[in-house]
Structure 1
Amino acid sequence: MAVIRHISTRLLDVAYEEHGPADGNPVLLLHGFPYDPRCYDRVAAALAAQDYRVIVPYLRGYGPTRFLSGDTMRSGQQAALAQDLLDLMDALSISRAALAGYDWGGRAACIVAALWPQRVRCLVTGDGYNIQDIAGFAVPAAPETEHRNWYQYYFHTPRGAAGLAANRFALGRLLWQLWSPSWRFDEATYARTAAAFDNPDFVDIVIHSYRHRYGYAPGDPALEDIERALARGPMITVPTISLCGADDGVSPPSAADEDAAHFSGRYKRRLLPGIGHNIPQEAPEAVVKALLDLMAPA
């Protein structure tokens, strides 16, 4: 069982798990929605065994992570996730690190890599370029995509917010099943992660995340400069490997790599047959290999 540590940033008491030697080269592993650090257990163990310092935080709204003030906006917007990552690196005195993330965590990692490349040694991203084009979300997508995004539109309504509050554990399980149709997880595996949803800010942050990305909720004014920078679709210049689950039920990969144009540095996309959305838990060896390939001496 990993030991949970805490450190204060500007806004949060961040709960995180640390593996490997304190003087090892740092790697930060970032989970998504609706997941938690348990998705990285095998990845963290494998990297720690090779003497990397591995940090796996609970994102805002998950597990023991808490806001320092009741007055702070419970924002789930992409800029908030990225700022949290940057603040965590500062609090831990990590000047530069390898980053790996998917879903919300992949968004945070992509943003830091794009806007603060000097802080990022390399990037492993789940499903490519995860920076949101909020203006573009105003345009309806293909019917199949709209169907897969049903939960997002549900969260746009008062009924969806009430439903998430009342049924967060059942809803999370359903999303796991829909998004990773080839993965046969058991109830104990899900329960270990679902405990992280029992956080007082979970519902507010999730609802704000899915409303803000469509322009249906205002963002945190303190993050507006970051959002303006992201609206320009910044390039990612750091060495990157994109891992895409071929059986991803919510964002299935296209035959052609539509995200390649967003990466100007060394870049490769790897398709993972039989793998769904929860890449690090379904295919930990692929995540470890991608990180080690990028961190290997040139």
Structure 2
Amino acid sequence: MNQATDPATFAAGLRRVDAGALDIGYVDAGPPRGPVVVLLHGWPYDIHSFAEVVPLLTAAGRRVLVPFLRGHGATRFRSADTVRNGQPAALAHDTVAFLDALGVDAATLAGFDWGARTADVVAALLPERCAGLVSVSGYLIASQASGRAPLAPAAELSWWYQFYFATDRGRDGYARHRRDFARLIWRTASPRWAFDEATFARSAAALDNPDHVDVVIHNYRWRLGLAPGEPRYDEWEARLAGSPGIGVPAITLEGDANGAPHLDPSAYATRFTGRYEHRTVGGGVGHNLPQEAPRQFADAVLQVGD
């Protein structure tokens, strides 16, 4: 097997680039002049979610870029003075800076969890940088105001870890038990995915990043309005608070066994104002859809980019 097809060696040829506030570690696979696809992972996952997706895309002539998000894996902040901000607008800004650093004008953006949220923000605010969008669990743009609004009790229960992270006890607990925490999230978010320990360990290593806990805790506290964002993103946040439509070609995906909080597709269909399709992926597929159903994820990426 080569680097692109063997999950155990997927990150062996990792590259690095200075992009904005970050020194980003990333995989770069496929023909250098092919149409560009950027794959964005979620939490608590990493780039290995796409190890089996990448060869399907490169075989179709795509250049595929898979960066570690801030606070994950090989990606590092370039300055000790930079705020360890997990605000979604900051992650979207990272993606644009990553494209700029590599000289990429526009790319198909595809992701899940934090990665889908990030791709949605770029597609909504900077459509000229997004040739197409694949978003697991649909339209994930939200504001602090919406995050402060109480939900029904059953919905609040599904977000239990948000409230845990709002406390000092939760921050300390996550710092001490982040791998056990991640394993619990994997099992509850994908209750029918029979991942093995080697698969988990490959991704869990990304949680050892020195900035991981700070970024994760800030992300969830910001969502509840318990931590401030950076003023540099205020203009973006004002636009995102209006739930802007996404006009680029888009496909949303949902696993039929997703145990993580998610909306019914009918709740967000009207937010996609361009060519749009929703697909539910059957067979017990959970939250980590690209790793659980790589062929279906890759097919969507190829079709949205045509």
TMscore range, shorter length: over 0.9
SS at match of 1:185: coil
Is 1:111 the counterpart of 2:125 in the alignment?
A: no
**What root-mean-square deviation, in Å, do the aligned CA atoms of Structure 1 and Structure 2 show?**
1.0
Q: Which runs of 5+ in 1 are unaligned?
A: none
Structure 2 equivalent of residue 123 of structure 1: 133
Of 245, 253, 266 in structure 1, the residue corresponding to residue 275 of structure 2 is 266
Structure 1 equivalent of residue 25 of structure 2: 15
Return the offset for 1:179.
0.3
Q: Distance in 2 between matches of 1:121 and 1:136?
A: 28
Of 142, 145, 152 in structure 1, the residue corresponding to residue 162 of structure 2 is 152
Q: Which runs of 5+ in 2 are unaligned?
A: 1-8
Return the offset for 1:251.
2.1
Of 126, 151, 156 in structure 2, the residue corresponding to residue 141 of structure 1 is 151
Is 1:226 the counterpart of 2:236 in the alignment?
A: yes
Q: Distance in 1 between matches of 2:84 and 2:263?
A: 31
Return the offset for 1:226.
1.2
Is 1:208 the counterpart of 2:249 in the alignment?
A: no
Cα deviations across residues 5-24 of structure 1 (Å, max 9, x unaligned)? 00001211000001101111
Amino acid at match of 2:168: P
Return the offset for 1:117.
0.4
Q: Distance in 2 between matches of 1:189 and 1:216?
A: 34
SS at match of 1:28: strand
Change (3 A) 1:253 1:217: closer
Amino acid at match of 1:272: V
- C-alpha contact 1:19 1:44 (8 A) present in aligned 2: yes
Is 1:70 the counterpart of 2:70 in the alignment?
A: no
SS at match of 2:169: helix
Of 235, 243, 250 in structure 1, the residue corresponding to residue 260 of structure 2 is 250
| TM-score normalised according to structure 2 size | 0.95
Amino acid at match of 2:167: T
| TM-score normalised according to structure 1 size | 0.97
Structure 2 equivalent of residue 47 of structure 1: 57
SS at match of 1:123: strand
User: How many equivalent pairs are there?
Assistant: 295
Structure 1 equivalent of residue 67 of structure 2: 57
- C-alpha contact 1:244 1:253 (8 A) present in aligned 2: no
SS at match of 2:202: helix
- C-alpha contact 2:85 2:219 (8 A) present in aligned 1: yes
SS at match of 2:65: strand
Is 1:168 the counterpart of 2:178 in the alignment?
A: yes
SS at match of 1:85: helix
Cα deviations across residues 163-197 of structure 1 (Å, max 9, x unaligned)? 11000000000000000001000111000000000
Please identify runs of 4+ aligned residues in structure 1 that moved more than 4 A. Answer: none
Is 1:278 the counterpart of 2:288 in the alignment?
A: yes
Identity of aligned residues (%): 47
Return the offset for 1:87.
0.4
Return the offset for 1:133.
3.1
